[in-house]
Amino acid sequence: MANTKMILVILDGLGYDAATQEMGYMEGMVQVGKASKWKVKTALPSNSRPLYETLHTGMTPIEHGVLTNDIVRLSTCDHLFSICRANEKTTAAAAYSWISELYNKSPYDSVEDRETDDESLNIQHGRFYEKDDYPDSELFADAELLIRRHHPDYMLIHPMGCDYKGHVFGGTSDQYFHQASKADQLLATYIPNWIRKDYEIFVTADHGMDEKGSHGGTADIVQYVPLYHVARNPIPQSSNIINQCSIAPTILNRMNIDIPIAMQLPPIKT
């Protein structure tokens, strides 16, 4: 456990029920004990940029201050990337451009920031995209390239497919559920290899999606998202509903990195 390498997959916009119904590979891993699963209640407001910051800082939007998608600035808190860098870990991300804006440079430069390889940045190796319909399959390939080239200690993988299909067709649509199935097939393509490379993997979402193709508020379909943990010895699962703010300290705990005081919730251990 001394040098646990970590992959966090944020499937943007994927609600708990769609994941449970459609993600046969992930659910199968849970059934045979190779993964654990929890139900997570997101922080509020249940929008993307506020909750990217919540997932990376363990703080609610009201605490960290990224309250809307339109607040374009670097994070002002300790976050998973900066904490990993302070512990001499290698970091990488294949993610939406807002992740670059939160942790590397703000505002995002469509050309200069698209491919980032700079040891001095919080995200040392980044591949970023700006279009919401950027295909998940392309994004996973971007991520796999970074993993093969740089063997990062902390890797964020952040596809937008479920959020995109949810906004266009609604969060109870066939298209949205089918997109969840496609994400599961991509995970099935890559996860066995990541396990062989001694990675632990968390798979979760920033928020879900309502039937009208919207999110931001308190509806169960919006606020409940899955959390899966794939590892040689996964954390024992429970039926407790997990606070989204506990995901960041859990990742640090699994990486044997000290948790900063600002992350107030304890890591998930059971």
Residues binding Zn ion (CB under 5 A): 163
CB of 215 to Zn ion, least distance (A): 6
Task: Convert 204-224 to b/e letters by CB count within 10 Å (16 or more is b).
Answer: bbbbbbbeebebbeebebbbb
* Structure tokens, 22: 């459609």
CB of 42 to Zn ion, least distance (A): 12
Residue 219 phi/psi, 5-degree rounding, is: -60, 145
The smaller minimum CB distance to Zn ion, of residues 113 and 163, is found at 163
CB of 208 to Zn ion, least distance (A): 10
The smaller minimum CB distance to Zn ion, of residues 22 and 163, is found at 163
CB of 168 to Zn ion, least distance (A): 11
Task: Convert 242-256 to b/e letters by CB count within 10 Å (16 or more is b).
Answer: bbbbbbbbbbbbbbe
CB of 216 to Zn ion, least distance (A): 9
The smaller minimum CB distance to Zn ion, of residues 50 and 249, is found at 50
The smaller minimum CB distance to Zn ion, of residues 4 and 47, is found at 47
Residue nearest to Zn ion (CB): 163
Query: Nearest to residue 253, comparing CAs of 270, 229, 237, 269?
Result: 269
The span from the CA of 60 to the CA of 110, in Å, is 29
CB of 214 to Zn ion, least distance (A): 8
Q: Which helix (H) or strand (E) holds 237?
A: none
Q: Which helix (H) or strand (E) holds 58?
A: none
The smaller minimum CB distance to Zn ion, of residues 163 and 210, is found at 163
- Under DSSP, the state recorded for 263 is -
The span from the CA of 225 to the CA of 43, in Å, is 11
The smaller minimum CB distance to Zn ion, of residues 153 and 210, is found at 210
Cα-trace Rg, the chain: 17
